[in-house]
Chains A and B, each alone.
Chain A
């Protein structure tokens, strides 16, 4: 029972990380039907930006610990968001009318560019993230959670609530939904399509950036290649939840996190990634609209 509940929490936390990245996939795919392969690398860039802020301000961390953590998140989100907008402007916007495979290759090009830019600056080895923060355990009934786990749960809930509200009740959110349905007609109705797509990329990338910093705090080490596999898994999560659906990203993330945690404890850790890919293929084939999805994918 003890182990089971701990696995449950581990699954939840890793699932929430997937969910944060999945949010970007789902928003972008929902609007312009693009699998943004570089999204996982924006997540990675976020982690490195957070690290950069920590290295600069780490000296003051004795007195202003929480302020610095706050700054790490804010700067990582802003810079990652701008990075997302830049990538969209330079690598995706010129190709909006092109064949899918061309955009896919371009996004893989962006992915390599981001990975190896980070590598040029920080090298190929794992970097230690400040991980001694929030490791104290709180007892909630029979549950044991650390402060950092509680923090991740709170922040993720906040993001989900905020984004859902944003898409549901603001004018920009309404424009996003409109573009998702019909881009040309939206343009005719006076919606600045380019701007709304840029905003979408900004939000998705900023949240992925926050996810990167969280990942760093939780696992204590970051690497320039950490975004690729996590990006694929986050994509799987967004498919499970139903791509294009924002609460779906969270449902999918948590489902994938749980499946992976329990699956790998039964099958052995080295089969963990195989398990995730089997889930990806099974979901794509058997229920491409996911758990909460609308029918956006082209099928037979």
Chain B
């Protein structure tokens, strides 16, 4: 039954994408753009706008992780770590040193990217399950360290972060942050698409599919893996900085294993390397807890069962990437 239901979701998605294909691309993108821009005019409720903001954060994170998991084929079960490092970098700079929000974004990218280099280093030695455990361990170390250090505000975290401003204009309303995250998601999307179709993207795919073949074709696989970790982590840094600007506070409990896992799940549900699918996967993952809210205590019980069923009936994700080579073979 579960399989059937998921199948119909898949059919719906195929149907929509086929319909979209008949419409000329610029027209379709234009229509989508108008809808996305018009959302705050229709949705006035702050709760829904905040939910959309959170979905946007998860979309940015999922696009970043899909670079690592989908393109380079490397696991990370600790993706909350660079997210946390980006968020704390921005928070400390804004709140303690009064640095403008817009300057903290590149700094968050830098520190998160650096953390990616640190965690990427073991990648050169382990893979598969062991990589999953190394990244999980790293994620937990970052969270517990943030929880213990006085400098990062221990368990209370950092609060009272000043709102970002553009000249005299201060961003405080939900709809303003909606536009901020919309810009971030759109830019992430474009950047990811361009990166995937670049020489680096092809090198990643090649490393993922057959490391030895890639090596023999002159791809520096070690550098490519490290680069994937750095790029994916830097991406999480952006999401972290925007997140704290909206929340005006940050605490270690945001960055648990559950967060890492939810992002990972969004990417897997979205079909790993298919950016459009990953974005939808991230939206589903953010909405899932809201959907299961009716189960109350058994919310995560239902979630656990749903996970097992999904993996058994749709291991390729809800929206698998249409691989150019396999479609030719068919």
State the A residues within 8 Å of B (CB).
Answer: 33, 35, 90-91, 94-95, 98-106, 108-117, 119-120, 232, 235, 239, 270-271, 273-274, 277-278, 280-281, 284-285, 288, 297-300
Within 8 A of A (CB), among B286-330: 297-301, 303-308, 310-312, 315
Q: Within 8 Å of chain A (Cβ to Cβ): is B179?
A: no
B296 to chain A, nearest CB (A): 10
B297 touches A104 (CB 8 A): no
Q: Within 8 Å of chain A (Cβ to Cβ): is B268?
A: yes
CB neighbours of B144 from chain A (8 A): 270-271, 273-274, 277
Q: Within 8 Å of chain A (Cβ to Cβ): is B261?
A: yes
**Residue in A99, A120, A232 whose beta carbon sits within 8 Å of that of B315 in the complex:** A99
A101 touches B268 (CB 8 A): yes
A36 to chain B, nearest CB (A): 11
A109 touches B137 (CB 8 A): no
A137 to chain B, nearest CB (A): 34
Tell me the number of A-to-B contacts counted with CB atoms below 8 Å: 137
A285 touches B125 (CB 8 A): yes
A33 touches B125 (CB 8 A): no
B148 touches A270 (CB 8 A): yes
**Residue in B137, B268, B299, B301 whose beta carbon sits within 8 Å of that of A117 in the complex:** B301
Q: Within 8 Å of chain A (Cβ to Cβ): is B210?
A: no
Assess A95 versus B312: contact at CB under 8 Å? Given A112-B303, A115-B300, A277-B140.
yes
A132 to chain B, nearest CB (A): 31
Binds A, one of B18-26, B127-135, B156-164: B127-135
B69 to chain A, nearest CB (A): 8
A284 touches B128 (CB 8 A): no
A116 to B129 Cα, complex, angstroms:
25
A232 touches B136 (CB 8 A): yes
**Residue in A102, A117, A232, A300 whose beta carbon sits within 8 Å of that of B125 in the complex:** A300
B308 touches A90 (CB 8 A): yes
A293 to chain B, nearest CB (A): 12
Q: Classify chain B: how many residues form its interface, as a range.
A: 35 or more
B213 to chain A, nearest CB (A): 15
B134 touches A285 (CB 8 A): yes
A235 to B138 Cα, complex, angstroms:
15
CB neighbours of B133 from chain A (8 A): 35, 235, 239, 280, 284
**CB 8 Å contact bits of B248-279 with A (1 = contact, 0 = none):** 00000000000001001100100000000000
B297 touches A116 (CB 8 A): yes
Q: Within 8 Å of chain A (Cβ to Cβ): is B88?
A: no
4 further A-B contacts with Cβ under 8 Å, apart from A104-B77, A274-B145, A285-B134, are A98-B315, A101-B264, A278-B137, A299-B125
B137 touches A281 (CB 8 A): yes
A102 to B265 Cα, complex, angstroms:
10
Closest to A103 in B: B311
| Cβ contacts A to B, 15 pairs, < 8 Å | A35-B129, A98-B315, A100-B128, A108-B304, A109-B308, A109-B310, A112-B303, A113-B308, A116-B297, A119-B297, A270-B147, A284-B126, A285-B125, A285-B126, A298-B127
A33 touches B311 (CB 8 A): no
